[in-house]
Structure 1
């Protein structure tokens, strides 16, 4: 099942306080036992609710995990956008994009290995929250390219969508959590060297 986590996650009452209580308890439970090893029945026992009551708010375990994943991706995006906010040039924005994506992804998803299960499953199965996050990264890349082209920092001959896609594919191992686990050892070095190489290729 791959329903939209943000639009189809609830059944019955829209009681945000109870939904938040379920999400908070699920975050702790997943963090302790792991996402794939936890069932909705396990969550119900941990929270003190019935399984049927949880299903009034979330129609699956994936829906609960999707909210947690969305929240963490939003935290990452907030860190990335803050890092880029005062960059003096498009080139510096690109450098900060690579660095902040790498650092924030590592910190937020791998501080607790059990919670990484959610990110790995979400990335592997391309949950809507992951697709939206990747789309936002593509948009940021395109904005940086446009700014750099207008300022004369970057060449203008290569089609914009082609350049955007190429840069995203280079960055994707550090955006996609399922891939990031295999690139952690080199993440810091890559965050320095990859944008440098890209910027040389973008020079007018």
Structure 2
């Protein structure tokens, strides 16, 4: 049924919502612009006019999902007190999100894998935001006297690089259940010592 009287922004949101649903249910490769248009009650030409190609739609969905992921991570971080606990919340939560996506939404995981492989700008921005969150937590810990590091930027880079196993969706999927996998708490113990925090 045609959707009437929608603004350009509402039309764009509807297209992204329906495309996201179809990508999740039947997969990106099997979804066509005609499928998306039909779900929206539009013509294919209208979908092309508003958002362009299926690839553009996919990238817009990725941007929205990754922005939502950062918001979720920030909420998890701000829900606890103390820099050590905030650092744990960040990396434990991002690991949990990646595991849930791989197990429960394999088609979404495939889309994410493609985005990483093709080095989309949206993924690069997400990585920068994730690293910035680590930096915020470390700076917060230094300010509170919980951490003792001479260079917050270098510390954030080191922590972010060492925690990539928990942040990278493909590594999360590959390492899950492996005997040599690293637990967040084991990793965190070493990280906290490197940040000048005595671990009892």
Give the SS at the match of 1:156: coil
Q: CA RMSD in A?
A: 2.5
State whether residues 14 and 57 of structure 1, in contact with CA within 8 Å, keep that contact through their aligned partners in structure 2: no
Q: Does the 8 Å CA contact 2:66/2:126 hold for their aligned counterparts?
A: yes
Shift of 1:85: 1.0
Other structure's SS at 1:55 match: helix
- Once residues 126 and 140 of structure 2 are traced to their aligned partners in structure 1, the CA distance between those partners, rounded to angstroms, is 21
Aligned to 2:145: 152
| TM-score, with structure 1 as normaliser | 0.80
Distance (whole Å) between structure 2 residues aligned to residue 44 and residue 101 of structure 1 = 33
Q: C-alpha distance in 1, partners of 2:154/2:110?
A: 33
The number of residues matched between the two structures is 190
State the Cα distance separating 1:71 from its structure 2 match: 2.3
Partners of 1:15 and 1:141 in 2: CA distance = 37
Residues 66-118 of structure 1 deviation map (CA, whole Å, 9 limit, x = unaligned): 22222222232222111111422111111111111111233346422112222
Is the aligned partner of 1:194 residue 2:187?
yes
Deviations 1:44-68 (A, max 9, x none): 4554533322111112212211222
TM-score (norm: length of structure 2): 0.81
Distance 1:108 1:75, change over 3 A: farther
What is the alpha-carbon distance in structure 1 between the residues aligned to residue 18 and residue 153 of structure 2?
42
Write the mapping of 1:41-56 to structure 2, written as runs, cut at 5 A: 41-56=34-49
Match of 1:140 among 120, 124, 133: 133
Contact 1:90 1:147 (C-alpha < 8 Å) held by counterparts: yes
- Does structure 1 residue 173 correspond to structure 2 residue 180? no
Report the CA distance shift for 1:52/1:24 in structure 2 as closer, same or farther (over 3 A): same
For 2:171 and 2:131, the matched residues in 1 are separated by 17
CA distance change for structure 1 residues 174 and 61 in 2, over 3 Å: closer, same or farther? farther
Structure 1 unaligned residues grouped into runs of 5+:
1-12
Q: Does 1:23 align with 2:16?
A: yes
Post-superposition shift, 1:36? 3.0
Q: Does the aligned pair in 2 maintain the 1:173–1:179 contact within 8 Å?
A: yes
Counterparts of 1:72 and 1:105 in 2: how far apart (Å)? 12
Change (3 A) 1:150 1:48: closer
Say which structure, 1 or 2, has more relative contact order (CA 8 Å, 6+ apart): 1
